[in-house]
Amino acid sequence: MKKVLRLHTSLFKENSVSSQLVQELTESLADRGDTLDIVDRDFRESPIPHLDAERLQALSTAKDERSAKQTALVDYSDSLIEEVQEADVLIIALPMYNFSVPSMFKAWFDHVARAGVTFAYTEQGPKGLLEGKKAYLVSAMGGSHEPGQTDFLRPYVKLLMNFVGIEDVEFVTARGLNMADDVRQQGIEEARADIERLVIQHSNNHQPTEEVAA
Ligand SMILES: Cc1cc2nc3c(=O)[nH]c(=O)nc-3n(C[C@H](O)[C@H](O)[C@H](O)COP(=O)(O)O)c2cc1C
């Protein structure tokens, strides 16, 4: 049994390509024999609030000194962190907005990155504490962008994952979705090819290894 946390960060409901591809990836992983226990956090149904001054103040107030409101604010951030801690796999639907991530995804990460809980400061620098997890970053973009040139989404989210200790990061990318019909269709097919490749790679890595005779 694998625990999967899926984040749906698009503003579009039925027509979100990134959410559709997340669904296809999940089904492909399940078809390959993985039993998945899925938790969906859908930003369209439950918008993520900014980590504002009031929330930061609540987080930096000692537990037994918090007001009821501060306790509720901290409980909310804790619940986002617990969802990640409990997951073996994160599958994140990520539309490109203004060359980077949706602002609610950034807000989500501001809640999740907490010193002493999801990362620690050490003498060698920061160290991620969410080890042993895998993340699939399923991005959708209207145009065509190269990482580090006009695509600040993929390098940035990979960095965020690595920062909290998630080193095993894979990409599914649909490009050209707001371009001509054939370009859009090709972008979706390339993303489906990414899914197929990753699922085959995943099942090859999990073949039972033959016992070597002593
Ligand atoms: C607010 C907003 C900003 C966008 N900015 C970009 C952008 O910078 N580059 C791009 O290629 N597409 C951009 N798009 C287009 C989306 O990336 C594209 O529609 C994609 O399909 C969205 O993913 P979704 O279908 O999962 O919602 C933007 C769309 C919106 C709504």
Structure pTM?
0.95
How far away, in angstroms, is 117 Cα from ligand 1 center?
33
How far away, in angstroms, is 21 Cα from ligand 1 center?
15
DSSP 196-213: HHHHHHHHHHTSPPPPPP
How far away, in angstroms, is 213 Cα from ligand 1 center?
55
| Residue 154 pLDDT | 98
How far away, in angstroms, is 166 Cα from ligand 1 center?
26
Q: Is the backbone of residue 125 left (phi > 0), alpha (psi -120 to 50) or beta? A: left
Per-residue pLDDT reduced to its tens digit, 25-53: 999 999 988 899 999 999 999 999 999 99
* Residue labelled with tokens 């950034």: 106
| Residue 34 pLDDT | 85
In 3D, which of 86, 198, 201, 91 has the Cα closest to residue 132? 86
Per-residue pLDDT reduced to its tens digit, 177-204: 999 999 999 999 999 999 999 999 988 8
Tell me the one-letter amino acid at 55. Answer: R
CATH classification code of 2-205: 3.40.50.360
Sort strands 36-42 and 168-174 into parallel, antiparallel or unpaired: unpaired
The whole-number mean pLDDT for each consecutive block of 10 residues of the chain, a chain of 214 residues, reads 97 94 97 93 98 98 98 98 98 98 98 98 96 98 96 98 98 98 98 96 73 43
With a 6 A CB cut-off, is 177 part of the ligand 1 pocket?
Answer: yes
The SS3 call for residue 24 is helix
With a 6 A CB cut-off, is 98 part of the ligand 1 pocket?
Answer: yes
**Neighbour tally for 208: CB within 10 Å:** 5
In 3D, which of 97, 109, 104, 96 has the Cα closest to residue 42? 104
With a 6 A CB cut-off, is 126 part of the ligand 1 pocket?
Answer: no
| Residue 208 pLDDT | 57
Q: Any alpha helices (H) in the chain, and if so which ranges?
A: 17-31, 53-59, 68-86, 103-112, 153-163, 181-205
| Residue 48 pLDDT | 98
With a 6 A CB cut-off, is 95 part of the ligand 1 pocket?
Answer: yes
